[in-house]
Structure 1
């Protein structure tokens, strides 16, 4: 279980801690060094990294040809990378991963909740949260590439959302898509995939 103090210290202030905890439980990982690699809808088996350097090496080996998610929030590793050397080792730092991951999820959640018309009814909120999780896992919502989409601005990101009874444990554990037709949209334009090869040699040498 991720320490509540770490969540409070590092997470985006726009999300309540209870939502962040559920987000990490359903779409993230308990391991700061976790690297998940997918080729299309297929999970690629990779060795479990034991050090930040090994985690970064895995990212280096797969980024550009596979979808790579990293760390506690399973952040999309290729997002925003346009040239060699931009990938930061901070992605495998627990606090930094929570910081950038929850900030990005907050934007995704705002996109979804705005599409629903900013509802507050308790019977609607579980579906909104479910769709936000699916959007995080696939990178898409209603045809919109949510990671690259503009932030719709402030929205009412409601409090704790009860877990739906039909949630799949395996889907949460693997951070996988829960809708194959949506996941199939993830292709060459997926921000998880940087269209470059990145040289990370020596990147760990500057870590404190």
Structure 2
């Protein structure tokens, strides 16, 4: 099931078109607002299940700084821009707030990748740019750049990616076949690919 259009309109960063947001979350997000994925290098670390935003927040605080931690609907990289785990809040697990933060950060990643391509405008090129931007989100890096901490290149907005029946999905080939770099508390690298079915069963809870 597609991400609820009302949720996109209410919560997502307005600089991104709804079709791009939906493709992004389907490819790199999670249907569970309380999802916590912890990685160390290429390994996924098993963590106890959580039932409340408070439990999820406690788990994240215990892992940030030691491993790569992704959370919520957009699999936002917990710890980005945070000096101490105590600064993290349960907002990470509110669906609307997670989408707002995640799409704003993905917008920057999208612009970084588009600029690297030379800011093309040809319709046939844009799906590949989006594909690489999603892959960069999942890995936290693009062509040697840490996309979450790199400055926003600004400039004009990337042109719209036309909706197609077969929207390109990030492939497990090409750049995605490269090994992830060892982590050192840098919340960057991740390889999550989960269908967004079930988003309607939103378990979000306001902090």
Instruction: Please give the TM-score of this superposition, normalised by the length of structure 2.
Output: 0.81
Separation of aligned partners in 2, 1:84 and 1:57? 10
Tell me the residue number matched to 1:91: 92
Q: CA deviation at 1:166?
A: 7.5
Separation of aligned partners in 2, 1:12 and 1:80? 18
Which structure would you say has the larger RCO, counting Cα contacts within 8 Å and 6 or more residues apart? 2
> Gaps spanning 5+ residues in structure 1: where?
172-176, 194-206
SS at match of 1:179: helix
Alpha-carbon spacing, 1:102–1:53, altered in 2? closer, same or farther (3 Å):
same
Find runs of 4+ consecutive structure 1 residues off by over 3 angstroms.
165-168
Conserved 8 A contact 2:111-2:153: yes
Alpha-carbon spacing, 1:186–1:17, altered in 2? closer, same or farther (3 Å):
farther
Q: CA deviation at 1:180?
A: 4.0
Separation of aligned partners in 1, 2:73 and 2:116? 27
Residue-pair matches, total: 187
Answer with 71-80 or 55-64: which moved more. Answer: 55-64
Conserved 8 A contact 1:71-1:92: yes
Separation of aligned partners in 1, 2:11 and 2:141? 26
Aligned counterpart for 1:179 among listed residues 176, 180, 184: 176
> Gaps spanning 5+ residues in structure 2: where?
190-205
Instruction: Please give the TM-score of this superposition, normalised by the length of structure 1.
Output: 0.81
CA root-mean-square deviation = 2.4
Matches within 5 A, 1:129-140: 129-140=130-141
Conserved 8 A contact 1:15-1:157: no
Tell me the residue number matched to 2:43: 42
Conserved 8 A contact 2:28-2:138: yes
Q: CA deviation at 1:23?
A: 0.4
Matches within 5 A, 1:33-112: 33-112=34-113
Tell me the residue number matched to 2:202: none
Matches within 5 A, 1:93-172: 93-160=94-161, 162=164, 163-164=167-168, 167=171
